[in-house]
Structure 1
Amino acid sequence: MSKKFSIAKSDEIYARAQKVVPAGSQTFSKGVTQFVEGVAPKYLHRGKGANVWDVDGNQFLDYVMACHPIILGYADDDVNRAVVEQLELGSTFSLMNELEVEVTEKIIETVPCAEAVRFGKNGADATSVGVRIARAVTGREHIAYCGYHGWHDWYIANTDLNSGVPEFNKQLAHSFNYNDLDSLESIFKAHPGEVAIVIMEPLTVLEPKDNFLAEVKKMAHHYGALLMFDEIITGFRFAIGGAQELTGVTPDLTSLAKAVSNGIPLSAICGKKDYLFALEQTFFSFTYGGDCIGLAAANACIPKIQREDVPGHLWKVGEKLKDGFNTLAEEIGVADFFQCVGYPCRTVITFDGQDRYNDLEMKSYIQQELLYDGILWAAYHALSWAHKDEDIERTLKAYERALTGFKKIVDKGLDLRSQIDGIPVRPVFRKVADFNSYTRKGKKV
């Protein structure tokens, strides 16, 4: 049975935050707008394995996993041990540290395009320096992009959160649609000899059609641009060597973060030597670029991902979850409203209100009901090595209860908003390039 729980301490902390923290959160996707406000906890206190505990002591099975970086599980013993040992030695130094070379060599061994590597702390560091490298190498300024690539000016200019971003950025960055070569070629034709780079998330919830990724690479090179895969999410998750290993398409540059160090801040830009060594002529340098804590974590995390075949585990439990959800949706009679899509290692729940219900209210209702069953969820499954078969079985039982509840709302003709016990989820972006859209039953979702 589901149960309601107290979030009194969360609310007390948030009342303090609203006075001193702009937007109330350090990360939009972790803030109150992305969870049913008044129902969901606002602050987590600790995590272990696939579970987290909030500041009020409530325990949840987590499918958000800090927005994907926790690939092994919270507080993984091997990663923690490596970090603690490095802390005893020192976290950052006045000169370089051998870990910079050791982790570089591990990435070169595992990522197909990697011949050289430089490190950052956030994914946006790596994507943005990749753009800078391409501009330095080609002498061009325009960018063609597909996907989400972080908070820097060149990308965020075309969203509705672009206050403070110089206007010229809008003129230099151009979005194209996944599985749509014509939309990419139109950018090259509109800006002949001006596009420096094609940067894209190689795999999202879509499978590339008609050899799409290979054709993108061919087109980019034909028009004199570099190809960069943003593997912030796919790296080490979809396969040891990321999407490029899985698809057999090797880009010129790749950005990595998240799973590379199991949530300890670290990112990397890697690629062909001829391009990476452009960083000897353009500036990419900061105090924590060689911070040893993230490097120590990666030095333990990458071998464990290989040793335990973590991607293989994610595909196995993910397939069980995906197939189980879709079977339930069919059996309960709500498959027209909900579908689990994407690669098993990282699936997404889609919502189709059938012109009857608001999609965000549908998401909010399911999220609420899962919370009442002790599951933290944001419409995707960021699986980890710590998620076991019994967790999947528990989750499917919770989905069964939530979907059955939704079916009753449909059958009784109830107002969905009235069944949500707090403020529904709100969008982060209201205007953003159409990068991850896809068609389900003829309708874009």
Structure 2
Amino acid sequence: MSTELPRPTELAPHTELPPHTNVPQHADSGGELCLSRSRLANERLHALIPGGAHTYAKGDDQYPEHLAPVISHGRGAHVWDIDGNRYVEYGSGLRSVSLGHAHPRVNEAVRRELDRGSNFVRPSIVELEAAERFLATVPTAEMVKFAKNGSDVTTAAVRLARAVTGRPRVAICGDHPFFSVDDWFIATTPMSAGIPATAAELTVAFPYGNLAATEEVLTRYRDEVACLILEPAGHTEPPPGYLEGLRALADRHGCVLIFDEMITGLRWSPAGAQGLYGVVPDLSTFGKALGNGFAVAALAGRRELMERGGLRDSRDRVFLLSTTHGAETHSLAAAMAVQAIYVQEGVTAQLHALGERLARGVRDVAAAMGVGDHVVVRGRASNLVFATLDQNGQPSQPYRTLFLRQLLAGGVLAPSFVVSSALSEADIDQTVEVVAQACAVYRKALDAADPTPWVRGRPVKPVFRRLA
């Protein structure tokens, strides 16, 4: 018989939520965050769900041992676990919740559609309105098709590129961590079990920022590469002329240029990186922030290519995207509301301002504690990550574990430092204070040349690895 666990609190739209119930405590002083109910729930999750979560990046192996909170509910930039602890949250929904949890305008747009039905045997008028809104927000695209997740739309882009070029190979940017759950990408990772080895043979890699090396790949596989697919920007800004150079390379070699804008979409500008840098891809894919946590993704691009998946082209048809739930009205309504909010309220600028305040504060306290070369904040202000480096300046999972443990004890849930617009300046200041305390412990571990006493269990693990 299973032990009963508390259910998420039912909340009225503006209900005040309880404060953080634990006084921040730190591992070097013997304090420990109480997560007894979460530990029990994690055991039950693993018994019923492979990996204990529906996304590998949410697995409890990504957190210090026995310190993986199970969430009850969230509001704005805060979440509460089932033990009653409140956290300032970063990277919400794997970067998807950029406006904060339960955003009133988004929720209201969703509620309106729920009472009108969510899925029909023919297109709803909401599909037309959502397409018009998207193409007005991303004017570099001429057509759009919606789906539920990023993997489906990136794979559709690859399939379309292969169809229009008649070529088999896909060239991926090897410096970017994830494109799709489908074979053409997962075959290239350490988690390739279950995928025929031949799948990886048709995927080749090119390095970000290096046009000469990319041209060498295209020359080596002359007339075989269907597309170049990459995130247009990541932890570093694209070198001057790089994206323009890729555009020219794709044109010269007759391949399709695909921008994966899952992360850059909305966070770089409402129109994504292509809107910021002014380089137009042939196809692009959007998701994550597009629905503020609701499931919606988009494949967009040139009409000439997109029509190959339609009913008005005389050539062989491409099975582009055909999803039962891709046009659910409430998710499309959420996407329309999100895009309107970004444009009307200048959300991208808000994200940058909050991220700049956070990055400045973290760098200052890390330097003050003598760990400025070891706790390193990277990335665009709207999409910050942190690196944890050992005494030799190498990335370290044990030091990441130490750092995450200290953040959790201080009421900060931060697998990254990716901000949402719901964060207040007070939230940022609290985070910086907790980081300062964490950096003090980090300094002790560096001085001891051994973080083990502060790790307290197995280190956190990378997502992509061959063995569990």
Q: TM-score, with normalisation over the residues of structure 2?
A: 0.89
Q: Which residue of 1 aligns with 2:456?
A: 421
Q: Which runs of 5+ in 1 are unaligned?
A: 432-445
- The match for 1:31 among 46, 50, 59 is 59
Deviates more, 1:414-423 or 1:195-204: 414-423
**1:110 lines up with 2:137 in the alignment:** yes
Q: Which residue of 2 aligns with 1:434?
A: none
- The match for 1:166 among 178, 181, 196 is 196
- The match for 2:234 among 204, 207, 216 is 204
Q: Which amino acid aligns with 2:370?
A: G
Q: 1:429 Cα shift?
A: 1.2
Q: Which residue of 2 aligns with 1:58?
A: 85
Q: Which residue of 2 aligns with 1:219?
A: 249
Q: Which residue of 1 aligns with 2:431?
A: 395
Q: 1:356 Cα shift?
A: 7.8
Q: Which amino acid aligns with 1:391?
A: D
Q: 1:310 Cα shift?
A: 0.5
**How many matched pairs?**
428
Q: Deviations over 1:192-243 (max 9, x none)?
A: 1011110100111011113111111111111000101000011011111111
Q: 1:7 Cα shift?
A: 1.5
Is the Cα–Cα contact under 8 Å of residues 113 and 253 in structure 1 kept in the other structure?
Answer: no
Is the Cα–Cα contact under 8 Å of residues 134 and 336 in structure 2 kept in the other structure?
Answer: no
Moved over 3 A (4+): none
Q: How far apart, in 1, do the equivalents of 2:391 and 2:149 lie?
A: 39
Q: Deviations over 1:386-429 (max 9, x none)?
A: 01211111111111111111112223x15201112343210111
Q: Which amino acid aligns with 1:145?
A: I
* SS across alignment from 1:268: strand
* % same residue: 34
Q: 1:71 Cα shift?
A: 1.0
Alignment of 1:8-407 (within 5 A): 8-41=36-69, 43-146=70-173, 147=176, 148-280=178-310, 281-283=317-319, 284-355=321-392, 359-378=396-415, 380-407=416-443
Q: Which amino acid aligns with 2:373?
A: D
The 1:421–1:357 alpha-carbon spacing in structure 2 relative to 1, beyond 3 Å, is farther
Is the Cα–Cα contact under 8 Å of residues 111 and 245 in structure 1 kept in the other structure?
Answer: yes
Is the Cα–Cα contact under 8 Å of residues 67 and 382 in structure 1 kept in the other structure?
Answer: no
* SS across alignment from 2:94: coil
Q: How far apart, in 2, do the equivalents of 1:287 and 1:395 lie?
A: 42
Q: How far apart, in 1, do the equivalents of 2:140 and 2:191 lie?
A: 33
* SS across alignment from 1:238: coil
Q: Which residue of 1 aligns with 2:24?
A: 2
Is the Cα–Cα contact under 8 Å of residues 113 and 270 in structure 1 kept in the other structure?
Answer: no
Q: How far apart, in 2, do the equivalents of 1:239 and 1:229 lie?
A: 14
Is the Cα–Cα contact under 8 Å of residues 40 and 368 in structure 1 kept in the other structure?
Answer: no
* SS across alignment from 1:66: helix
* SS across alignment from 2:326: helix
Q: How far apart, in 2, do the equivalents of 1:357 and 1:175 lie?
A: 24
Q: Deviations over 1:145-187 (max 9, x none)?
A: 1122021111111111111112222111111111112331222
* SS across alignment from 1:161: coil
Q: How far apart, in 1, do the equivalents of 2:216 and 2:53 lie?
A: 39
Q: Which amino acid aligns with 1:383?
A: V
Q: 1:2 Cα shift?
A: 2.0
Q: How far apart, in 1, do the equivalents of 2:452 and 2:94 lie?
A: 27
Q: How far apart, in 1, do the equivalents of 2:281 and 2:333 lie?
A: 27
Q: How far apart, in 1, do the equivalents of 2:394 and 2:235 lie?
A: 23
Q: How far apart, in 1, do the equivalents of 2:170 and 2:243 lie?
A: 17
Q: 1:357 Cα shift?
A: 7.4
Deviates more, 1:128-137 or 1:2-11: 2-11
Cα RMSD, aligned residues only: 1.5
Q: Which amino acid aligns with 2:251?
A: H
* SS across alignment from 1:430: coil
Q: Which amino acid aligns with 1:23?
A: G
Is the Cα–Cα contact under 8 Å of residues 391 and 446 in structure 2 kept in the other structure?
Answer: no
Q: 1:358 Cα shift?
A: 6.3
Is the Cα–Cα contact under 8 Å of residues 113 and 254 in structure 1 kept in the other structure?
Answer: no
Is the Cα–Cα contact under 8 Å of residues 38 and 423 in structure 1 kept in the other structure?
Answer: no
Q: Which amino acid aligns with 2:127?
A: E
Q: Which runs of 5+ in 2 are unaligned?
A: 1-22, 26-31, 311-316
Q: Which amino acid aligns with 1:318?
A: G
Deviates more, 1:21-30 or 1:348-357: 348-357
Q: Deviations over 1:356-407 (max 9, x none)?
A: 87611111111110100100011x2221110121111111111111111111
Q: Which residue of 1 aligns with 2:314?
A: none
Is the Cα–Cα contact under 8 Å of residues 397 and 461 in structure 2 kept in the other structure?
Answer: yes
Is the Cα–Cα contact under 8 Å of residues 34 and 427 in structure 1 kept in the other structure?
Answer: yes
Q: Which residue of 2 aligns with 1:408?
A: 444
Deviates more, 1:391-400 or 1:322-331: 322-331
* SS across alignment from 2:190: coil
